Amino acid sequence: MSEKMLLFPILFPVFAASVFAVPALPLNRYRLRLWRDIAIEAAALVNSALLLFLAWNTPAGTLTLFRLSANASFALRLDGLGRGFVALIAFLWPLTTLYAFEYMEHEGRERSFFAWFLLTFGVVSGIALSANLLTLYLFYEVMTLTTLPLVMHAMDGRARYAGRKYLIYSVGGAALAFIPLVFSLLHGGGDFALGGTLNTPPQGASNILLSAYFLGFVGFGVKAAVFPFHGWLPAASVAPTPVTALLHAVAVVKAGVFAIIRLTWYVFGPGPLSGSWAQTAAFAMTCLTILYGSSMALAVHHLKRRFAYSTISQLSYILLGVLLLTPEGLTGALTHMGAHALMKINLFFCSGAILCRTHREYLFDMRGIAMGMPRTFTALIVSGLALCGLPPLAGFMGKWQLGIAAAAAPPLGYIGLVVIAVSAVLTVLYIFSIFATAIMPGKNFDFRTANEGVSDPSARMLLPMGVLAAAAVLFGLYCGPMLRFFGEIAAGKL
């Protein structure tokens, strides 16, 4: 297959977004809401089909679009890690698009929303298809620009504040991430390769290179919500739920994690980093983030912000596996990355359905409403139990793989095991308190009054929630092929 096919999943959403955004274009004739929704969903499905086709029939070579120097090129290539990320976004984006149709009816400015939404699809595809750190960095920064209008969609005071905060954090992170990019180009870093591409001395990387790596970890860690650079993520919960769902599952935070995996395993390499102060410092930040996020999730009573802090914690589970610098750790990280995406996006879908149908945002306003929204809360319970790590659901498989990897990588791994165990307890507490509030509000509670006017959303929202709840179950029950796939990526066979 020609490498030029790698351009299509990037360019097609740009074309589709322009059709829906520019009234002057002759193709923009979707007057009726139904036909407009069908066209947008079709665009998302076509791009997902392109991505899955490339993941299944991967071009062997690299598409170099232009060169700045011998080591600096803007190029596209699809390797094993990219295939995993491509499959994730191809599965989740059409579901989120379908969910958004009903939700955005009460938000307004739908044409603008879906134009930026499709455009972001192409940019995130570019991150997955990047052949080197320079290309990834460019797409990574464009993603900030395409997601900013989504975060600020409401354009009220809270949305503008969240947008400014998101932009300031992102620009600061970009400045730090630029440093390892420069050093990688100076030290021979070319296209991504498992094990690293830098020309380092046999005894390991110098303190300058280790410093560059650590700054890059912090820079990309801004979008991965590593403490104390996490503040933009809870603030961004003011965005429409389809946006926050993608922010927390794929488009931004997972792109940050993906970039850190690339930087750690495919640029610097585990060899020079293993046992260094840079590994220890990054690992310490990761462990602190896990505990902080879980603790804050338990303390916060705003449902979407609770899930936002949960995301902060769960993302660092993935980074913990990455920073163990072992193939087993990388396998566990990739497993939890996929599992978390399925679980967390559905939890946000459920919270959005509650907000959309009841206009209730805080837990103390949700007492007993599970009776009025049985399908929504069924999906929430399944995804919540999966996040808690109940076997054999998706979250259990991710945490199990991370636990096995941590136990085999002392002494940092032992610290990681304790942190994961403490966070697991906190996760059970903040998830089960939601269940208790909605299902068991107390003796003599008037369920009829609490559920007056409360009902499940339509099939456009329920279908994605049902599919994702089923996926969280199937991921755990039939995880063998995925574990083999992730293991082959970590072993360098893909």
Q: Tens of pLDDT along 310-354?
A: 999 999 999 999 999 999 999 999 999 999 999 999 999 999 999
Q: What pLDDT score does 72 carry?
A: 83
Q: What pLDDT score does 200 carry?
A: 64
The CA distance from 112 to 100, in Å, is 13
pLDDT at 398 over 50: yes
Confidence of residue 27 (pLDDT cuts 50, 70, 90): very low
CB 367 within 8 A of CB 437: yes
pTM: 0.93
- What are 69-75's contacts with CB under 8 Å, separation 24+? 69/185, 71/185, 71/188, 71/189, 71/190, 72/134, 72/185, 73/131, 73/132, 73/134, 73/135, 74/134, 74/135, 74/138, 75/130, 75/131, 75/132, 75/135, 75/191
Q: Which residues pair with 70 in a beta bridge?
A: none
In a shared domain, residues 262 and 191: yes
Q: Number of folded domains in the chain? A: 2
Query: What is the amino acid identity at position 401?
Result: Q
Across all residues in the chain, what is the average pLDDT? 89
Q: What pLDDT score does 76 carry?
A: 94
pLDDT at 204 over 80: no
Q: What pLDDT score does 26 carry?
A: 46
Sign of the alpha-carbon dihedral angle for 378, 382, 387, 390: positive
Q: List the Cα angle 80/254/86 in 5-degree steps.
A: 35
Q: What pLDDT score does 20 carry?
A: 72
In a shared domain, residues 219 and 327: no
Percent of the chain with pLDDT over 90: 57
Q: What is the mean pLDDT of residues 226-233?
A: 90
Lowest-pLDDT range of 47-56, 238-247, 328-337, 392-401: 238-247
Nearest Cα to Cα of residue 337 among 273, 261, 413, 245: 261
Confidence of residue 469 (pLDDT cuts 50, 70, 90): very high
In a shared domain, residues 259 and 281: no
In a shared domain, residues 468 and 351: yes
pLDDT at 61 over 90: no
Q: What is the mean pLDDT of residues 287-293?
A: 96
pLDDT at 247 over 80: no
DSSP string, 146-177: HHHHHHTTT-SHHHHHHHHHHHHHHHHHHHHH
Q: What is the mean pLDDT of residues 419-432?
A: 95
Of 273, 305, 338, the last residue of a domain is 273
What range defines the domain where residue 383 resides? 275-494
In a shared domain, residues 440 and 292: yes
Q: What pLDDT score does 24 carry?
A: 44
Lowest-pLDDT range of 147-156, 237-246, 296-305: 237-246
Of 238, 255, 273, the last residue of a domain is 273
In a shared domain, residues 269 and 352: no
Nearest Cα to Cα of residue 81 among 266, 279, 342: 266
Q: What pLDDT score does 203 carry?
A: 55
In a shared domain, residues 226 and 353: no
In a shared domain, residues 260 and 298: no
In 3-state terms, what secondary structure has residue 64?
Answer: strand
Residue 335 neighbours by CB under 8 Å, 6+ apart: 397, 398, 401, 402, 479, 482, 483, 486
Q: What is the mean pLDDT of residues 158-168?
A: 88
In a shared domain, residues 302 and 405: yes
Of 239, 273, 307, the last residue of a domain is 273
Q: What pLDDT score does 236 carry?
A: 82
Q: What pLDDT score does 25 carry?
A: 44
317 token code pair? 């589970």
In a shared domain, residues 256 and 279: no
In a shared domain, residues 234 and 287: no
Q: What is the mean pLDDT of residues 379-397?
A: 93
In a shared domain, residues 257 and 298: no
Q: List the Cα angle 98/103/107 in 5-degree steps.
A: 130
